[in-house]
């Protein structure tokens, strides 16, 4: 397996534009997580899914953020409209059901909003 | 809500010395405690983890200890090497499967 795959690796966009980040979890993993990493706030959990269903979105900062998981192999995180303070590295991670299982991270998407 | 505190935020040690990073968690339902290492510009990767029914776990130069009563867990790295320099994150998870991360410790091993 190629691991968790995220695209794009880097995204530069202008304030006000829509941004869509993509994630392909490891095949067979039941859980998918979206994290945001900044120097100030560290690794923040934004939302996570179990079997494609959103379980907890309490970390999503504002209504400008939305996430979907239309099937077991694909998830998106959308920001509309984007703002400079959204600049961060966004990580997707996946885990398989079973106590004490490792969460595998993707390479991340570095988002810069100018 | 759940919270994981991590200390210190930065740690500088001489090569060959030991490094200790400490975390506390707030959710008594937490039962899984992984540690991740993140090198500059790369993804976090698991280096060791411990479950709540175990007090200590070792893997070569790395060990993790857990005190459930005090809600503390720690990472110990012995005989540090320059390649250990990175940011280390602790995390706590429960039966909901989500992981809450600490704020990270930047470890610098001086040659």
Query: Is the per-residue pLDDT at B61 higher than 90?
Result: yes
At residue B45, the pLDDT reads 96
Q: Which chain B residues are within 8 Å of A56, Cβ to Cβ? A: 96, 98
Closest Cα of chain A to B49: distance in Å?
8
Minimum mean pLDDT range among A61-65, A73-77, A103-107, B36-40: A61-65
Average pLDDT, integer, range A59-84: 96
CA dihedral B70, B29, B57, A28 (to 10 degrees): -160
In degrees, rounded to 5, the angle at the alpha carbon of residue B55 between the alpha carbons of residues B95 and B74 is 85
Q: Does A107 touch chain B (CB under 8 A)?
A: yes
Query: Is the per-residue pLDDT at A9 higher than 80?
Result: yes
Query: Is the per-residue pLDDT at B1 higher than 80?
Result: no
At residue B94, the pLDDT reads 86
Cβ B66 vs Cβ B55: under 8 Å: yes
* Of residues B32, B45, B101, nearest to A99 (C-beta): B32
Q: Does A5 touch chain B (CB under 8 A)?
A: no
Query: Is the per-residue pLDDT at A1 higher than 70?
Result: no
Q: How many CB pairs under 8 A join A and B?
A: 50
């Amino acid at each position: 397996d190629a691991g968790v795959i995220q695209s794009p690796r880097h995204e530069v966009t202008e304030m006000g534009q829509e941004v869509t980040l993509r994630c392909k979890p490891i095949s067979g993993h039941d859980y998918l997580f979206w994290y945001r990493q900044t120097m100030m706030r560290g690794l923040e959990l934004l939302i996570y899914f179990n079997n494609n269903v959103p379980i907890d979105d309490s970390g999503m900062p504002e209504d400008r953020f939305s996430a979907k998981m239309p099937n077991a192999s694909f998830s998106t995180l959308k920001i509309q409209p984007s703002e400079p303070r959204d600049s961060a590295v966004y990580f997707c991670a996946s885990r398989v059901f079973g106590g004490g299982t490792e969460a595998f991270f993707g390479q991340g998407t570095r988002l810069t909003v100018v | 809500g759940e919270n994981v505190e991590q200390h210190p935020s930065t740690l500088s040690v001489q090569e060959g010395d030991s490094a200790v990073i400490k975390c506390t968690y707030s959710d008594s339902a937490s039962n899984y405690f992984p540690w991740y290492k993140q090198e500059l510009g790369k993804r976090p990767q698991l280096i060791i983890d411990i479950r709540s029914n175990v007090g200590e776990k070792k893997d070569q130069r790395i060990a993790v200890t857990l005190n459930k009563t005090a809600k503390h867990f720690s990472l110990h790295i012995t005989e540090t090497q320059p390649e250990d320099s990175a940011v280390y994150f602790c995390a706590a998870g429960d039966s909901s499967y989500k992981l809450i991360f600490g704020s990270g410790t930047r470890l610098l091993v001086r040659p």
